[in-house]
Amino acid sequence: MQLTHEENQFERKTFPITLVCDHIYFQQNIGSLFRISEAFGVENIIFLGKDIPLTPRKINKTSRSTHLHVPHQIMEETTELMAYLQNNNFEIIALEIATNSKSLKEVVIPQNKKIALLIGSEINGISDELLKISNQIVHINMFGKNSSMNVVQAASIALYEITTL
């Protein structure tokens, strides 16, 4: 028999993870990122960019009201975000296919350190500026001809791996 949301037996838990969304603007993706962040106990979401469409009416369909429960903020400038991440001693993990990226399975999660998981825009991925300050750059191994996947799907896989290590 299927359980209701109230009957599930999952442990409620928050992880020291901040999901950093580098210029993600598609409202369906934003709503879904709230939902998956809530499901995986993400502590905070930072949206980088100007005019991020956080209109509840537009994102509520995919967020299923999780945008009301996951702390989030907008930072308009990359320099402001970089200073915040570096000054607060985050382990910065970029989810991107790059010349120096390693498999997500090889990610190293340091003890007693907050994690900033960077995910990139639907069009351009993660900016070079943010890749340069990343402590680790990881990618998801894929076995088809396509070399990319939807940002929400990729974030879901990465959050699962990070929270189950």
The CATH number of whichever domain residue 122 belongs to comes to 3.40.1280.10
Tell me the one-letter amino acid at 141: N
Q: Which residues of the chain have pLDDT under 50?
A: none
Domain contains 10: no
Domain contains 6: no
Predicted pLDDT of residue 84: 98
Q: What are phi and psi of 93, to 5 degrees?
A: -115, 115
Domain contains 139: yes
Domain contains 21: yes
Domain contains 5: no
Q: Is the C-alpha dihedral spanning 140, 34, 126, 81 positive or negative?
A: negative
Q: Which domain holds residue 75?
A: 15-163
Domain contains 19: yes
Domain contains 4: no
Domain contains 3: no
Domains: count for the chain: 1
CB-CB contact of 68 with 39 (8 Å): no
